[in-house]
Amino acid sequence: MEQGTEEESVSDTAEFQVLVWFDPGKMTGWATWSRDPNVGFASGQLPQLEVSPFLTELAQELGSQLAVGWERFLILPGSRVKHDGSALRVIGVLEQVVHDHGLGQRVPQPSSSRVLGLNHLRTVGWHKRGEGHANDAAAHLLSDLLKTNRLPADLKRRIVVKSTPARPRKRKEGPDGNR
């Protein structure tokens, strides 16, 4: 049986109830968001060897209601940064669990896409002090929700209000015509 291409197996339009994004590495960040406002948002960090049991448990609990995304990790030729391979191993684990449980997969995002989310984590109340990997995963999640227009209206309003520059006030003229 022939396997589908990556483009055929991932989707930004698939329906889900819960979305989880990962920032893969030795210490892997994760962030979840549920359409159910009573569940909402959560994030944290895991050592790489705890990623598989964590995602497997979510998959067993939620089944096809769960969609999974992760940062697309690229090692570019000529890069002077040393990589230990942990991010690629975590991505392999994520792909396997997604495949084994028939979960929805989001299109992997480059690391640059989290910038949009990082700018607004505090605004929406998702920033966790001292947990950089969790914040990176949350930024990918927020970026995905913004790009696909799935972010709840109240959170969108917070971002718009914060991002809208204040208009300069017009000064009133005094009785003598001076300001």
Query: Domains in the chain, ordered, with CATH?
Result: 11-74+83-158 (3.30.420.10)
> pLDDT at position 19, please?
96
> pLDDT at position 7, please?
43
Distance CA 145, CA 70 (A): 14
Q: Which residues contact 146 (CB under 8 A, 6 or more apart)?
A: 116, 117, 156, 159
Quote the mean pLDDT of the chain.
84
Coil, helix or strand for 49? helix
What does the DSSP 8-state code read for residue 2? P
Query: What's the predicted TM-score (pTM) here?
Result: 0.80
Residues of the chain with pLDDT under 50: 1-9
Integer CA distances (angstroms), 29 to 3, 72, 87, 113, in order = 29, 14, 11, 15
